[in-house]
């Protein structure tokens, strides 16, 4: 069997059913474009011209949206669109050499379509598979894990022979959960409906009181009190309230939500339904990151099971007036869409530009309705609280950080995977559990989190000490922390949405300065400039992406200074280029190459 080349035009036959599925709603634009692209391979000008009027939008609006998302293409990308996960952990496992090998075997240049129009190979930001990398995405809906030279050679052969993905070895697409330590959230899932029934038995007011009693704080990073968030939303006037689960999980090194979505989807939906019961919401969304498209069928089937069991839809568990359902929105490759207001924009079918706040989503969220946005893990915790009560949850962990936290452990350790600990656990304890040796640094919370050096390994995971959204990346002494910071500087420059100048320009300047240092042209002056950019971006950027983009840089300059200083050419100023070499044309034109024509001889 070989591929039939997909047509590049939106035949009415393809467009009409997709539009019908979404009621031709303009806020479903991203989903409609994703589906058309899956059918046609790319989004041709004709397709965009047909979609725009069908949704009551201008062509410019549609083009603006397409241009924002990395996984939407206005040029052909081939029958095989290969995207290597480009996290530091993938690179540590050899992803760059494997990418070069695949390109060489296929005769393609990274980022370009092959001459025969069949294959393109490129990099993409972390795909959330750091515990089983190096990994890649193929055609935006399959992932290949545990890549090695043999697998790459076989893949090249299969692509050359134009074998469809459905006939590739099934074990290549296996994704393991790698649950290494389970407590409350990662243990055996409860029977569907138990937590929801407990919430209904309590009543909405009492359930909200339990949430507040639990002191649960959001697991997406900011740590806002979940009970308070639900209360603020509930108090906001509006004909409708909306519940949104943030499953964007884009922070490099984080993959615990992937495991919850696969293993504990019922707990997640239970938590969302409990929130809906408290708020009186009818509509829920899961914003599933585009890189997790391979989970879509599983998550949809769990939703259907719940509908069949009367746990979603009208009169849930026989409760008159409790009518709630959940739709899945698949993202299209943009880290900033994890920021809750950008996520809501994206849910509304627009570019994922963070909103000006206030008003906050709890007052003015999805289509202007009061909206609660919570992380996957937060909703799973809410379902535990419904079953066991707020006081039970509050007793676990520390005073300011109740309950347990799930960590995505990767990098230089023997047992990468997900680990659940009560808050208050020391970094050293976690390093021992995962089999880390000779550790030089741990990046907690990803590149926008904290980078700790060995003298800090006695610190504890807690909002009052080391706060985290879940990434725990380990680096042993063989790693160059400057290169780690440089790689993430490029990540932020790449992911900046470009809306505000301090971040758009600042992240690019930081990446450029780091490249200058890497090329051996740097000086202490460049380090001063990096600190200045960090200060500026912290205080002036529009959203958390820009504000935290220099966190790792800041920590590595302070704690791993020799990694920077060994690259400095001089102590004060050095230009970012070789001045003497730049003058070679002038020397040639003037016919001079004497000693005095070279800068180093000037005094
Ligand atoms: C750039 C950026 C990316 C973010 N990515 C995520 C994400 O992938 N998942 C998430 O839950 N929260 C993410 N957040 C935090 C959300 O804005 C929001 O605080 C969170 O979803 C609220 O849920 P919680 O209260 O349960 O933590 C991100 C924030 C920023 C600034
Ligand atoms: S800080 Fe960066 S990501 Fe956030 S709005 Fe500004 S440009 Fe966009």
User: What DSSP assignment string belongs to 501-532?
Assistant: HHHHHHHHHHHHHHHHHHTT-EEHHHHHHHHH
Q: How far does the centroid of ligand 1 lie from the alpha carbon of residue 575, in Å? A: 39
Q: How far does the centroid of ligand 2 lie from the alpha carbon of residue 47, in Å? A: 30
Best probe residue, ligand 2, of 334, 495, 499, 505 (max atoms within 8 Å of C-beta):
499
Tell me the C-alpha distance between 443 and 410, whole Å. Answer: 10
Q: How far does the centroid of ligand 1 lie from the alpha carbon of residue 332, in Å? A: 17
Alpha carbon 477 to chain centroid distance? 27
> Which residue lies with its CA nearest to atom 1 of ligand 1?
545
What pLDDT, on a 0 to 100 scale, did the predictor assign at position 2?
Answer: 39
What pLDDT, on a 0 to 100 scale, did the predictor assign at position 23?
Answer: 86
250 alpha carbon, closest ligand: 1
Cα–Cα–Cα angle for 423, 426, 387, nearest 5°? 20
| Helical spans, DSSP H, in 470-583 | 481-495, 501-518, 524-540, 544-548, 551-559, 561-565, 579-582
> Which residue lies with its CA nearest to atom 1 of ligand 2?
546
> Which residue lies with its CA nearest to atom 24 of ligand 1?
218
Question: CA-CA-CA-CA torsion for 47, 49, 53, 59, nearest 10 degrees?
Answer: 120
544 alpha carbon, closest ligand: 1
- Ligand 2: which atom is nearest the Cα of residue 501? 7
Ligand 1 binding pocket (C-beta < 6 A) is 218-222, 224, 246, 248-251, 336, 338-340, 373-375, 378, 543-545
Best probe residue, ligand 1, of 340, 385, 500, 551 (max atoms within 8 Å of C-beta):
340
Measured over the CA atoms of residue 277, residue 283, residue 289 and residue 291, the dihedral's sign is: positive
What pLDDT, on a 0 to 100 scale, did the predictor assign at position 589?
Answer: 83
Q: Is 502 in the pocket of ligand 2 (CB under 6 A)?
A: no
Give residue-wise pLDDT tens across range 521-543: 888 899 999 999 999 999 999 99
Question: Can you point out the beta strands (E) in 233-279?
Answer: 242-247
Q: What is the pTM of this model?
A: 0.93
Instruction: Copy the structure tokens of residue 553.
Output: 């840089």
Compute how many other C-beta atoms are within 10 angstroms of the C-beta atom of residue 191.
Answer: 9
336 alpha carbon, closest ligand: 1
Best probe residue, ligand 1, of 126, 222, 503 (max atoms within 8 Å of C-beta):
222
Q: How far does the centroid of ligand 1 lie from the alpha carbon of residue 544, in Å? A: 9
Q: Which helix (H) or strand (E) holds 451?
A: strand 450-452
Closest CA to 495 of 530, 543, 552, 533: 543
> Which residue lies with its CA nearest to atom 6 of ligand 2?
500
Q: Is 336 in the pocket of ligand 2 (CB under 6 A)?
A: yes
* DSSP at 447: T
Instruction: Copy the structure tokens of residue 16.
Output: 């009409």
Best probe residue, ligand 1, of 220, 260, 547 (max atoms within 8 Å of C-beta):
220
Tell me the C-alpha distance between 243 and 230, whole Å. Answer: 10
> Which residue lies with its CA nearest to atom 5 of ligand 1?
338
Best probe residue, ligand 2, of 346, 491, 546 (max atoms within 8 Å of C-beta):
546
Instruction: Copy the structure tokens of residue 118.
Output: 């069949």
Tell me the C-alpha distance between 342 and 339, whole Å. Answer: 5
Q: Is 484 in the pocket of ligand 2 (CB under 6 A)?
A: no
Q: Are 452 and 429 in contact (CB under 8 A)?
A: no
How much is the CA Rg of the chain, to the nearest whole Å? 25
Alpha carbon 542 to chain centroid distance? 19
Tell me the C-alpha distance between 314 and 167, whole Å. Answer: 41
Instruction: Copy the structure tokens of residue 333.
Output: 């490759």
* DSSP at 3: P
Q: Is 385 in the pocket of ligand 2 (CB under 6 A)?
A: no
Q: Are 234 and 274 in contact (CB under 8 A)?
A: no
What pLDDT, on a 0 to 100 scale, did the predictor assign at position 336?
Answer: 98
Give φ, ψ of 279 to 5 degrees.
-85, -20
Q: How far does the centroid of ligand 1 lie from the alpha carbon of residue 220, in Å? A: 4
What pLDDT, on a 0 to 100 scale, did the predictor assign at position 574?
Answer: 62
Residues lower than pLDDT 70 in the chain: 1-12, 570-577, 599-603
Burial (CB count within 10 angstroms: exposed 0-12, middle 13-18, buried 19+), residue 43: buried
Q: Are 341 and 357 in contact (CB under 8 A)?
A: yes
Distances (CA, A) of 311 to 43, 318, 326, 521: 38, 9, 11, 63
3-state SS assignment for residue 96: helix
Q: How far does the centroid of ligand 1 lie from the alpha carbon of residue 348, in Å? A: 17
């Amino acid at each position: 069997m070989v591929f039939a080349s997909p047509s590049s035009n939106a035949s009415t036959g393809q467009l009409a059913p997709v539009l019908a599925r979404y009621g031709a709603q303009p806020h479903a634009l991203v989903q409609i474009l994703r589906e058309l692209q899956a059918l046609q391979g790319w989004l041709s000008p004709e397709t965009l011209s047909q979609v725009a009027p069908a949704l009551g939008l201008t062509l410019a609006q549609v083009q603006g949206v397409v241009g924002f998302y990395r996984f939407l293409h206005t040029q052909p990308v081939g029958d095989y669109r290969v995207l290597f996960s480009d996290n530091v952990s993938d690179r540590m496992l050899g992803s760059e050499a494997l990418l070069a090998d695949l390109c060489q075997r296929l005769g393609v240049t990274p980022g370009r379509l092959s001459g025969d129009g069949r294959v393109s190979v490129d990099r993409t930001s972390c795909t959330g598979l750091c515990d089983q990398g190096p990994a890649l995405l193929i055609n935006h809906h399959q992932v290949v894990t545990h890549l090695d030279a043999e697998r790459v050679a076989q893949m090249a052969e299969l692509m050359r022979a134009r074998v469809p993905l459905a006939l590739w070895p099934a074990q290549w697409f296996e994704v393991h959960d790698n649950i290494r330590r389970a407590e409350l959230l990662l243990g055996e899932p409860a029977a569907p409906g138990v937590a929801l029934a407990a919430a209904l038995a309590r009543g909405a007011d009492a359930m909200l009181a339990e949430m507040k009693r639990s002191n649960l704080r959001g697991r997406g990073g900011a740590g806002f009190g979940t009970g308070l968030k639900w209360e603020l939303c509930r108090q906001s006037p509006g004909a409708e309230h909306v519940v949104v689960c943030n499953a964007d999980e884009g922070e490099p090194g984080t993959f615990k939500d992937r495991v919850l979505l696969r293993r504990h989807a019922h707990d997640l939906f239970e938590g969302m339904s409990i929130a809906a019961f408290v708020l009186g919401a009818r509509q829920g969304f899961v914003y599933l990151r585009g890189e997790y498209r391979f989970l879509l069928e599983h998550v949809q089937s769990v939703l259907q099971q719940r509908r069949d069991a009367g746990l979603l839809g009208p009169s849930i568990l026989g409760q008159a007036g409790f009518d709630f359902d959940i739709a899945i929105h698949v993202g299209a490759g943009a880290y900033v869409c994890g920021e809750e207001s950008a996520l809501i924009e994206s849910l509304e079918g627009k570019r994922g530009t963070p909103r000006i706040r206030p008003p906050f989503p709890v007052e003015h969220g999805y289509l202007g309705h009061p909206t609660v946005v919570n992380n996957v893990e937060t909703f799973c915790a809410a379902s535990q609280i419904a079953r066991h009560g707020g006081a039970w949850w509050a007793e676990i962990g520390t005073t300011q950080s109740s309950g347990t936290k799930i960590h995505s452990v990767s990098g230089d350790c023997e047992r990468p995977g997900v680990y659940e600990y009560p808050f208050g656990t020391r970094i050293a304890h976690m390093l021992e559990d995962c089999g880390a040796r000779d550790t030089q640094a741990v990046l907690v919370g990803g590149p926008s989190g904290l980078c700790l050096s060995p003298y800090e390994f006695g610190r504890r995971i807690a909002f009052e000490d080391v706060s985290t959204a879940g990434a725990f990346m380990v680096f042993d002494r063989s790693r160059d922390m400057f290169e780690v910071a440089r790689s993430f500087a490029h990540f932020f420059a790449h992911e900046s949405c470009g809306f505000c100048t301090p971040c758009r320009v600042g992240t690019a300047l930081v990446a450029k300065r780091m490249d200058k240092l890497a090329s051996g042209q740097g000086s202490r002056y460049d380090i001063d400039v990096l600190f200045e950019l960090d200060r500026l971006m912290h205080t002036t950027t529009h959203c958390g992406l820009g504000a935290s983009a220099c966190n790792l840089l800041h920590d590595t300059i302070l704690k791993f200074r020799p990694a920077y200083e060994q690259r400095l050419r001089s102590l004060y100023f050095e230009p970012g280029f070789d001045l003497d070499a730049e003058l070679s044309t002038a020397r040639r034109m003037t016919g001079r190459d004497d000693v005095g024509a070279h800068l180093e001889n000037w005094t």
